[in-house]
Copies of this chain bind each other. A is one copy, B any other.
């Protein structure tokens, strides 16, 4: 089985790669779990974290906006493409042209290249809570009313995935992600970045600013559960999905104060006291526009599980990213 991951050396791409290299996780064309024989990790940038050390892995650095490059990436041997490559919300808002080029044209290049193979490969498209706007509780059938360029581009991608699938060009599946918490590494340009920072930095001994009211709510999912959800949606019976290929993933819906309480409970006062509240009206306004509750019946029906608790989210981060040791 040959798999391509765009954004393959990024946070989710790399973790998915490690999972599907470690054991047969993906259902192949014959309906059984198969080993991945070839795994192409495509990214705009050379790897920051070390890529998987495995002879089946090929690292390709290139521009997702270049149709020819993407056409060369997805060939007649390709069984599945996980499309993570994207400019994140803050980036797409700051650079309008770059956002449309990467998120709209890049996604279209992936679909078009897959179509040209003539073998209807699986395309797993990454969407986001940002496709909604103004609703605090959402589900699979909530109208898409994005209020950012990023959300607009993701909603457009979802529409194209549905249409290319309906035409039989690809077997598309879209996963709408909650905010990923705790993202490892450095903050990125996403407006949601603070939700990871307020947990991640204190656990590593650093002070951090929480820019939003403690009563603010967010819909969150750990990287580990997100990777599992991508495997689950890849393996889902396409007939169950029907014409609308989008699945809203569920998550936890804590208040920010509950996230900080969990941090205090896990790490003690010395850790929790590293968080300083410094209101940022702009971020508050953005967060207030986000949905914070997902009633994703399709995700549940497909067996896709959110995290069990905030403690699990913190524990997973400390285990996976900090070798089990946080700075008390």
Is there an interface contact between A160 and B156, defined as CB atoms closer than 8 Å?
A: yes
**Beta-carbon contacts of A147-161 to B below 8 Å, as 1s and 0s?**
101001001100110
Whether A143 contacts B142 in the complex (CB less than 8 A), given A152-B163, A156-B160, A159-B155, comes out as yes
Q: What are 23 A-to-B residue pairs whose CB atoms are below 8 Å? A: A96-B167, A133-B243, A141-B143, A143-B143, A143-B144, A144-B144, A144-B159, A145-B243, A145-B244, A146-B159, A146-B162, A146-B163, A147-B166, A147-B243, A149-B163, A149-B167, A152-B159, A152-B160, A152-B162, A156-B156, A156-B159, A156-B160, A159-B159
The minimal Cβ–Cβ distance linking A282 to chain B, given in whole angstroms, is: 15
Bound Cα distance from A286 to B105, whole angstroms: 30
- Least CB separation from A143: chain B residue: B143
Interface on A for B, CB 8 Å cutoff? 96, 133, 141-147, 149, 152, 155-156, 159-160, 162-163, 166-167, 243-244
- Chain B residue contacts of A159, Cβ below 8 A: 144, 146, 152, 155-156, 159
Which 6 A-B pairs rank lowest in CB-CB distance, beginning with the nearest?
A: A143-B143, A152-B163, A156-B156, A152-B159, A149-B163, A155-B159
Bound Cα distance from A316 to B200, whole angstroms: 69
Bound Cα distance from A94 to B149, whole angstroms: 31
The minimal Cβ–Cβ distance linking A151 to chain B, given in whole angstroms, is: 9
- Chain B residue contacts of A160, Cβ below 8 A: 152, 156
A sample of 10 more A-B contacts (CB under 8 A), given A141-B143, A146-B162, is A133-B243, A142-B143, A144-B159, A145-B243, A147-B166, A147-B243, A149-B167, A152-B162, A156-B156, A156-B159
- Chain B residue contacts of A156, Cβ below 8 A: 156, 159-160
Bound Cα distance from A149 to B164, whole angstroms: 9
Bound Cα distance from A162 to B133, whole angstroms: 12
- Least CB separation from A100: chain B residue: B108
- Least CB separation from A140: chain B residue: B143
The minimal Cβ–Cβ distance linking A207 to chain B, given in whole angstroms, is: 35
- Least CB separation from A97: chain B residue: B112
